[in-house]
Amino acid sequence: MVQGFNHNILYKGVIFHIQTEDSGVKNPHIITLLYRDGTIIASKKTDYSDIITVEMLEKVVEDLMKEQHKDMLRRLKAGEFDSRAFDAPPPPAESSPDQHSAAGSSPADGSPKHEQTLDEMILEYLASVKD
């Protein structure tokens, strides 16, 4: 059973974190959260209790999770959350070595890395997901 996906992306110069998790058959729902600096910017919850008896449930749920995760990525890149993500000033960031291990972090020479296109992010994400 896939428990979840986590993905960091750079959007408009800010690292966002997308997390998707399955709560399991006893609480059959998938939840995706979009974070900026530890604050939840958006969420999406999908109940799958209506398909709990379907054949190959694990595979079906995994596919639902992947699609919901990618949808949150698409919505972020489309600017849907800009007003929530950028209206309030972010808290001061404390830099740590593993904080910038995400996609879109700056190269070691300090020069800014180009912002990834949505297609690049999705391809990178799909390459990181084990089938």
- At residue 89, the pLDDT reads 58
Digit-coded pLDDT (tens) for 52-95:
999 999 999 999 999 999 999 999 999 999 999 998 555 565 55
For residue 101, pLDDT beyond 70? no
Output b/e per residue, 14-51; b: 16+ Cβ within 10 A.
Answer: ebbbbbbbbeeeeebebbbbbbbeeeebbeeebebeee
Residue 96 reports pLDDT greater than 90: no
- Of the pLDDT bands very low, low, confident and very high (cuts 50, 70, 90), residue 107 is very low
> How much is the pTM?
0.67
pLDDT digits (tens, 9 = 90+) for 16-43: 999 999 999 999 999 999 999 999 999 9
Separation CA 131–CA 129 (nearest Å): 6
DSSP secondary structure string for all residues of the chain: ---EEEEEEEETTEEEEEEEEE--TTS-EEEEEEEETTEEEEEEEEE-GGGTTSTTHHHHHHHHHHHHHHHHHHHHHTTTTHHHHHSSPPPPPPP-TTTT-STTPPPTTSPPPPPPPHHHHHHHHHHHS--
Q: How many domains are there within the chain?
A: 1
Range of the domain at 119: 4-128
